[in-house]
């Protein structure tokens, strides 16, 4: 996205079929000068299970140029969290960020808990880092001719 505008970074969950997910926590570390965390926008899975999503931001004490956004998703229904699109992280790109600069890395540290025992931290959980690219012109928006009548 271009400087001065918001950008969304999607969060997806992919879980093995035999594993039931009860809670998802993400700690996303990012440089707080070029971008700032704004809020979480609910996704399809979050709506389907009436999930509660909380978020908070804190500055890293040893490095005030970096912040951590902590997002917690807890299912509201009495069903495990299924795989799919959970939510978007919404960031604001600073208006003075140089265009076409190197990507801004969002370091993702996930923790996932089991459904039957809410305090059971599941092993072998992996997460992918996000990237925000500041570009000189906004990406094109595709639309469907039949939908836009």
DSSP letters of 73-139? Answer: EE-SSSSPBPSEEEEEEEEEEPTTSPTTPPPEEEEEEEEEEESSSTT-BPSS-----EEE---SSPP
Q: How far apart are CA 34 and CA 24, in angstroms?
A: 27
Residue 76: its pLDDT value, please?
Answer: 87
Q: Are the CB atoms for 20 and 114 separated by under 8 Å?
A: yes
Residue 130: its pLDDT value, please?
Answer: 95
At 47, give phi and psi (nearest 5°): -70, -40
Residue 53: its pLDDT value, please?
Answer: 97
Q: How far apart are CA 37 and CA 126, in angstroms?
A: 22
Q: What does pLDDT average to in each consecutive run of 10 residues of the chain (149 residues)? A: 93 92 96 94 93 96 96 91 96 90 94 87 94 80 58
In sequence order, the 6+-apart residues with CB closer than 8 A to the CB of 133 are: 1, 103, 104
* Domains with residue ranges and CATH for the chain: 6-132 (2.60.40.680)
Residue 140: its pLDDT value, please?
Answer: 66
pTM for this one?
0.87
Residue 98: its pLDDT value, please?
Answer: 86
In sequence order, the 6+-apart residues with CB closer than 8 A to the CB of 31 are: 65, 66, 104
Residue 121: its pLDDT value, please?
Answer: 93
Residue 128: its pLDDT value, please?
Answer: 95
């Amino acid at each position: 996205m271009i400087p001065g505008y918001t950008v969304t970074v999607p969060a997806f969950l992919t879980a093995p079929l035999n594993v039931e997910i009860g809670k998802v926590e993400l700690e996303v570390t990012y440089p707080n000068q070029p971008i700032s965390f704004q809020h979480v926008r609910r996704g399809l899975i979050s709506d389907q299970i009436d999930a509660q999503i909380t978020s908070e931001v804190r500055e890293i004490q040893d490095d005030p140029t970096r912040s951590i956004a902590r997002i917690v998703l807890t299912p509201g229904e009495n069903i495990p969290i299924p795989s799919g699109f959970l939510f978007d992280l919404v960031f604001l790109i600073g208006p003075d960020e140089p265009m076409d600069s190197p990507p801004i890395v969002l370091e993702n540290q996930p923790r996932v808990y089991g459904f039957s025992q809410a305090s059971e931290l599941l092993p072998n959980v992996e997460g992918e880092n996000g990237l925000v690219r500041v570009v000189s012109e906004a990406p094109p928006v595709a639309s469907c001719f039949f939908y836009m009548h």
